[in-house]
Amino acid sequence: MKKIHLYGNWKMNMLPEEGVSFARALAERASGGWYSANAVDICLFPPFVTIGAVQQVLADRGDLSVGAQDGFPEDRGAYTGAVSMAMVRDLGCTHVLVGHSERRSLFADDDEIVATKLKRALDLGLKAVLCFGETLAERESGATTDVVDRQLSTALDGVPGDSMGNVLLAYEPVWAIGTGKNALPEDAQAVCRHVRDGVRKKYGAVVTVPVLYGGSVNEKNAAGLFEQPDIDGGLVGGASLDVDKFLGIYESYRRATEG
């Protein structure tokens, strides 16, 4: 079995007390038995107001990580409503999402802004989950590869190979996020393989980057996705709001793999 990255993006859900309940249940479930940090890497991405509460619950669990859903590249200044990458790190976060499709579409984060955020996150030693993916119109026009190549080329321009150890890639076809639709495993695999080949071409075979899939991942479709050779886990949305459903995603893959 390969190592699976199970990342839960809570989006604008979970008040602090709800996050505490979830984190406590997760910590209890992810102890012994089926759980091994060598087999599954778990990270939660609460909203900013809930990060501190979740972090306190998991502070003694170095095998369960907490990340932020976004971060502003400037450390200080007149940026009302923004939370800097430096603040994210000082909260105890080890990870941060960069370029999520909702940040791109709702908050006008274009490729250049995403690239700036990625570089600042890496400069601060954060593990950055770089999100990318095409819209339905782009997919239907046959532009998936061009869109993905553009997004990643801009984001990774100037990022040295020795920083890539802190980068994870997350393919999230926009048309599959929160819609209940899901890319067929072989279609997701094709894009993830294309991306992995592009990283190898840019940095050489010595650089390996986990590639996650995001887009209505749940316990029913996870095994088919995670069994693909170039999909290393999932960036989970709605199903990450329930501990049983969230862990069920990994458990379904584990059962399928163990036969």
Positions annotated as catalytic residues are 100, 172
Q: What is the H or E stretch that residue 123 is in?
A: helix 111-123
- C-alpha to C-alpha distance for 104 and 12, rounded to whole angstroms: 16
> Amino acid letter at 36?
S
Dihedral pair phi/psi, residue 218, rounded to 5°: -145, 180
Q: Three-class SS of residue 233? A: strand
- C-alpha to C-alpha distance for 185 and 193, rounded to whole angstroms: 12
- C-alpha to C-alpha distance for 100 and 44, rounded to whole angstroms: 15
- C-alpha to C-alpha distance for 88 and 48, rounded to whole angstroms: 9
DSSP state letter for 166: G
- C-alpha to C-alpha distance for 235 and 125, rounded to whole angstroms: 21
